[in-house]
Amino acid sequence: MLTHGWQSSGRIDWILKSKTEFLQLKDCNFIAIDWGTIAADVNYPEVVLNTPTIGRYVATFVDYLYTEGDLNFTSLYVTGHSIGAHVMGIMGSNVQNGRVGRITGLDPAGPGFQTASDDFRIERSDAVFVDIIHTNVCSLKDICLGLPGSYGHVDFFPNGGDSQPGCASQGPLADAISGCSHSRAHQYWLESINGVTNFKSVPCPDWDSYRAGLCVSCGQGCLNMGVHVNDQLTGSYFLETYAVSPYAKG
């Protein structure tokens, strides 16, 4: 189950491509949650205020699939980009018939959510396993679209989680306006579904330590960022990518 972010819809290109990739990968049901009518509102703060309502509606739908169908909560894998990540997190904390198996947050939106309580944004208690891919995070005083901090059982920080290769040259403001780095989260994730090369990541306390070569060992274990992650490991993981697709370096 996938959903989009602000100024987008359930028919956006990356979601349609994800559907095709997943159906090539396995026999599964694929559902796109489309809240595009609300997401189209240019008044971003109003969309943020509506996020909990959208998440609860999705929770009601998931509970319906359980009571009227044969949905197995533990086999349910949901993913959301930007505000959509928070929609899925809120859904996970509001379902009534079990715990969602896994939620992946693709660069969860930062503006409007940095001071929100856990009930109103994605966090690790929303599912049995929560992993988050950060691609455009920074402090409040800087210009980024993602949510800084670690909120999942596993948090991935490709290229430090800030500006991504091929986007950084635009400058922080242009990068944020274009959504280049912000969008890399779903581009990396899409590539990971059936990609030839893995997004191998290394456990590390921070990007500076990684760049200094202090985290070359897998230690507790390396992880492949994206769909095929080992859900038995936890912590913060770092990696580098290429500037153009295919992005994975292995």
HEC string for the chain? CEECCCCCCCCCHHHHHHHHHHHHHCCCCCCEECCHHHHCCCCHHHHHHHHHHHHHHHHHHHHHHHHHCCCCHHHCEEEEECHHHHHHHHHHHHCCCCCCCEEEEECCECCCCCCCCHHHCCCHHHCCEEEEECCCCCCCCCCCCECCCCCCCEEEEEHHHCCCCCCHHHCHHHHHHHCHHHHHHHHHHHHHHHCCCCCEEEECCCHHHHHCCCCCCCCCCCEECCCCCCCCCCEEEEECCCCCCCCCCC
Count of the separate structural domains present in the chain: 1
User: Distance between CA 48 and CA 208 in Å, rounded?
Assistant: 33
pLDDT tens figures, 4-24: 999 999 999 999 999 999 999
Q: Is 234 contained in some domain?
A: yes
CATH of residue 78's domain is 3.40.50.1820
Write down the pLDDT at residue 168: 74
- The predicted structure's pLDDT at residue 141: 66
Q: How far is the first Cα of the chain from the last one, in angstroms, to the nearest whole number?
A: 27
Q: How many residues does the chain have?
A: 250
Pair 148, 139: CB distance under 8 Å: yes
200-203 and 223-224 as β-strands: parallel, antiparallel, unpaired?
A: antiparallel
In a domain? residue 250: no
Phi, psi of 132 (to 5 degrees): -130, 135
Would the pLDDT of 170 be above 90? no
**What is the band of 219 on the pLDDT scale with cuts at 50, 70, 90?**
confident
pLDDT at 140 over 80: no
In a domain, 67, yes or no: yes
> Residue 247: inside a domain, yes or no?
no
96 CB neighbour count, 10 Å cutoff: 10
Residues serving a catalytic function are 82, 107, 182
Q: Is residue 244 part of a domain?
A: no
Task: Please say if the pLDDT value at position 139 is more than 90.
Answer: no
In a domain, 121, yes or no: yes
Per-residue model confidence (pLDDT) at position 69:
87
Q: How do strand 102-106 and strand 77-81 relate by DSSP bridges?
A: parallel
Residue 106's nearest CA partner among 184, 209, 193 is 184
Looking at the domain assignment, is residue 245 inside a domain?
no
* Predicted confidence band of residue 218 (pLDDT cuts 50, 70, 90): confident
The domain of 194 spans 2-239
The answer to whether residue 208 is domain-embedded is yes
